[in-house]
């Protein structure tokens, strides 16, 4: 079985990504960063760019499963719609690969054991679980690494299915 997972924290302006591999000595980061799209470009072009760059990552790392953060209830409808569009672009890029969706609450619970953990607590656990010397930055990349770790944790769960997109 492939031991690489890829996580995406979607956003129209900035999407975080993280690639994690399971090794006999623990997890290690293969890649992490952000995909940025220029605000002055048409939204359709920005979504095409995001999808193409996400597809390049998928093709490069060929993960066994991809974790994508779910759009959750937001106070700003415009922002939520743009995040949902970015998510859609990532899902198109992930076609043919197993995908799992996670809400922020699910990520916090899986990574820290507490669904109401704050961002600093999640980042500290990501740092610890991945044996990093520093807290991963920017936040979008740290969140994406947490999503990739969620996939690894789910792969270990009894009765798991690779493609459990919710």
Catalytic residues: 9, 69, 140
Cα dist. 94→62, 82, 139 in Å? 10, 18, 22
Task: Tell me the sheet residues that pair with 19.
Answer: 6, 31
Within 8 A by CB and 6+ apart from 106, the residues are 115, 150
Q: How many CB atoms lie within 10 A of CB 116?
A: 9
Task: State how beta strands 4-9 and 65-69 pair.
Answer: parallel
Q: How many CB atoms lie within 10 A of CB 52?
A: 13
On whether the CB atoms of residues 71 and 87 are closer than 8 A, the answer is yes
């Amino acid at each position: 079985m492939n031991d690489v997972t890829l996580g995406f924290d979607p956003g129209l302006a900035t999407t975080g990504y993280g690639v994690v591999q399971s090794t006999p000595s623990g997890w290690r980061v293969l890649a992490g960063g952000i995909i940025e799209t220029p605000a002055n470009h048409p939204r359709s072009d920005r979504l095409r760019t995001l999808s193409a760059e996400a597809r390049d990552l998928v093709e490069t790392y060929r993960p066994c499963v991809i974790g994508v953060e779910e759009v959750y209830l937001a106070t700003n409808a415009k922002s939520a719609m743009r995040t949902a569009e970015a998510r859609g672009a990532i899902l198109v890029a992930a076609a043919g690969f197993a995908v799992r969706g996670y809400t922020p609450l699910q990520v916090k619970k899986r990574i820290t054991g507490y669904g109401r953990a704050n961002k600093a607590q999640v980042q500290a656990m990501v740092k610890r679980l991945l044996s990093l010397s520093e807290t991963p930055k920017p936040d979008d990349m740290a969140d994406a690494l947490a999503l990739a770790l969620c996939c690894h944790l789910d792969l270990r769960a009894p009765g798991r299915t690779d493609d459990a997109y919710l």
